Every structure is written in C-alpha cells, then in structure tokens.
C-alpha cells in the first residue's frame, strides 16, 4: 500500500445499529472508499431512505448478499455486522478469495467450536478458521492484528471488562477466583430487531439484570483473561439493561493478592496502557456520558482497604469502542494507517 492510497471497503449488515455506526465512521474516514453497503432487509433501497440522517452524504443503494460477490474485485476489507450464526459462510467465502475480513459477530471470537455450541446453541460452520482468527482487541493483540486476515471484533461487554482487568492479571495483583463483573448497557446493545423486552414501555424507568450466570459474553471474557495469565479463569458476570440509548459501565470487583495503594495501582494502569491512545486512566470515577460517541475507554480505580478489594470501573460507548469504532481501529492497524484515523474525536455532550 502506498502512502495516500484510498482503500475500498464494504459493509455487510449495514442497516443494523453496529452496521450503521460503521457507515457513519467510514463516511468520515479520509483514507477509505465505501464500495458497497449490503442489507438483507433493505436490499435495493437507498441507504439514506433507511437512515435519513445520511441524505446528501451517502448515495449508495443497499445490495443483497449475492450482489456482494459482484463487487469483490477491488475490495480491500469487508466488515460483517450480522447476528451470530449468520456470518460463517460469507466469511469463509471471502477469506478463501483473499479478502481481509473484520467480523463484528460472535462467530469467530471463541477458540473452541464446542464452547461456541454450548453458549450459542449452534454447530460452528467455520471451524477451520477458528485457529486463524485474531481476537481484535488492539490494546492486547496489536501485533497479531497487523497481519491478520480474519479479525474477530470483540463484544461490547468483553471490551470494557477485559480492559478493566488486564493490568491486574498481567501483574499478578489479584486472587483470580474472586473476580465479579457487574456491567450495565444501553438498549442499543440489543440491536435493532423488534424485541418486546426492549420496547420503550418495557425498559424505560427500569433497570434489570439478565443472563445471570449464563450470558454469552462470559466465555469470551474468561478466554481472553485466561490467555493473559496462561491459566484458567472462571468469573461471575452479571449484565444489566439501563434505559439509555448507548453506553456500557463495567464495575469489576477483585480481592488483592497483596496490600497495595491506589496510587500504585493507577501507575501500574498508566504504564500498562501508556502506548494505547484510546484507554484513559482517570483519577476519578468514569461515566458513560464522557465517552458517548467516542472510541475511548475510561478506567477508574477504587481501593476498599476494609476488605482489601480493588474495584475497577470501565466506561465505553457500546456501539463505538464496543463495536464499530473498534472495528475501524482494527482496520487502521491492518492497513498501516494511524490507529486513530477517523476516530480522533471526544465524546458528545449532552
């Protein structure tokens, strides 16, 4: 790739929330051209008729999956933003044709097809690619992402949780049998499909826990944290639905293996993330409103001396750092762009 080259990208599943966020970011990225936007539900519709905020910005008609294959000759990277179980076949096809793929579904995040079947209830249709896929958390896997052909973009809850806990585990600072993650997400995390549980009257003015002990992001978090220590981590993860559009706050409770000051812990975190632009270690408690609309992960640390526990709080925008923004960050790494290209903006207020 020559400096200044414009790279061609396509988005499959462009009309879901994560797909739409991808389009928004790609439209403002100076180094890419959107070759196609594919959508099963809105094939042959003008994209700006589905999302009217794009009138005058996006002129593309949505195409169907079959038409995707007619647009591969000059494609550099394909983003796949389909529900789990739907991206396996298309990913296999694209990879076999030499197309680099960033998959935003859960289909290639887990190393084991047996674990995937247990948690997602499906036989894995792309087992041969599982060992080739790279878990696309740049802060931990940047070097592998550079040369990867298939990037498994992390889930939103795992992104916040793993970034919150990685420095503690890497430095052997906590008892690994005591990890509890209490996480809360905005309603957009459930996607755009019609679901009674996410109707306004069902979720407004209420907070509810769900997937207690069996949420599908649990094995993903355990897998990546276990890899950090070359061991086996089993943790308690409880997600909650919050009546807001976007944002995740993950509060992680851990018993310290030894006494440590909060100042020392903050320095350990700052050192761990010193070369990672999108992680900000704070001296105060993060809030989702300060990262809304951005690719940043804000992390705060609280020490409870009474119980010798450290509480780490991480805040992200679930649609950006938890999905589309992280996918763009991965693309930038793969193509040799500056990692923050197209993502270098603060959160939006209010």
Active site residue 156: yes
Query: CA 292 → CA 237, 270, 302, 315, 320, distances in Å?
Result: 23, 22, 22, 9, 9
- Single out the catalytic residue among 156, 203, 252, 297: 156
**Residues 102-135 as b or e (16 or more Cβ within 10 Å = b):** bbbbbbbbbbebeebeebbeeebebeebbeebbb
Q: Which residue has the tokens 């119980």?
A: 307
Q: What is the dihedral of CA 305, 307, 308, 311, to 10 degrees?
A: -90
Helix (H) or strand (E) segment spanning residue 315: strand 309-316
Bridge partner residues of 302 (DSSP): 311
> Are the C-beta atoms of residues 256 and 244 closer than 8 Å to each other?
no
**What 3-state DSSP class applies to 238?**
strand
The values of phi and psi at residue 120, to 5°, are -110, -10
Helix (H) or strand (E) segment spanning residue 35: strand 32-38
- Which tokens hold the place of 113? 């097809």
> Are the C-beta atoms of residues 295 and 325 closer than 8 Å to each other?
yes
The residues, ordered by sequence, that sit 6+ positions from 166 with a Cβ below 8 Å of its Cβ are 139, 140, 225, 228, 272
Cis peptide before 350 (omega within 30 of 0): yes
**Active centre residues (catalytic):** 156
């Amino acid at each position: 790739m020559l400096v200044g080259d414009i790279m061609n990208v396509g988005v499959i599943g462009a009309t879901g929330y994560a797909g739409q966020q991808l389009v928004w970011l790609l439209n403002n990225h100076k180094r890419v051209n959107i070759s196609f936007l594919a959508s099963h539900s809105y094939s042959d519709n003008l994209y700006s008729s589905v999302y009217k905020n794009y009138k005058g910005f996006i002129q593309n008609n949505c195409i169907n999956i079959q038409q995707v294959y007619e647009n591969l000759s000059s494609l550099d990277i394909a983003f796949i933003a389909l529900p789990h179980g739907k991206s396996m076949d298309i990913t296999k096809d694209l990879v076999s044709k030499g197309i680099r793929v960033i998959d935003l579904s859960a289909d290639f995040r887990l190393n084991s097809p047996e674990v995937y079947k247990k948690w997602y209830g499906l036989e894995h249709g792309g087992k041969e690619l599982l060992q080739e896929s790279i878990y696309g958390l740049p802060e931990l896997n940047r070097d592998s992402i550079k040369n990867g052909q298939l990037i498994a973009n992390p889930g939103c809850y795992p992104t916040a949780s793993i970034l919150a806990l990685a420095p503690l585990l890497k430095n052997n600072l906590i008892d690994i049998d005591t990890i509890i993650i209490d996480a809360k997400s905005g309603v957009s995390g459930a996607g755009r499909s019609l679901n009674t549980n996410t109707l306004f009257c069902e979720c407004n003015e209420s907070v509810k826990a769900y997937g207690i002990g069996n949420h599908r992001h649990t094995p993903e978090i355990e897998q990546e944290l276990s890899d950090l220590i070359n061991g086996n981590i089993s943790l308690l993860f409880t997600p909650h639905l919050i009546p807001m559009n976007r944002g995740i706050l993950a509060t992680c409770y851990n018993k310290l293996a030894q006494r440590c000051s909060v100042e020392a812990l903050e320095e350990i975190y700052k050192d761990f993330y010193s070369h990672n632009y999108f992680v900000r270690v704070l001296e105060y408690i993060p809030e989702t409103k300060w990262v809304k609309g951005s690719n940043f992960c804000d992390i705060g640390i609280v020490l409870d001396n009474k119980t010798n526990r450290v509480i780490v709080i991480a805040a992200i925008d679930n649609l950006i750092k938890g999905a589309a923004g992280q996918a763009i960050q991965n693309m930038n790494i793969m193509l040799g762009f500056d990692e923050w290209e197209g993502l270098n903006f603060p959160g939006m207020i209010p």
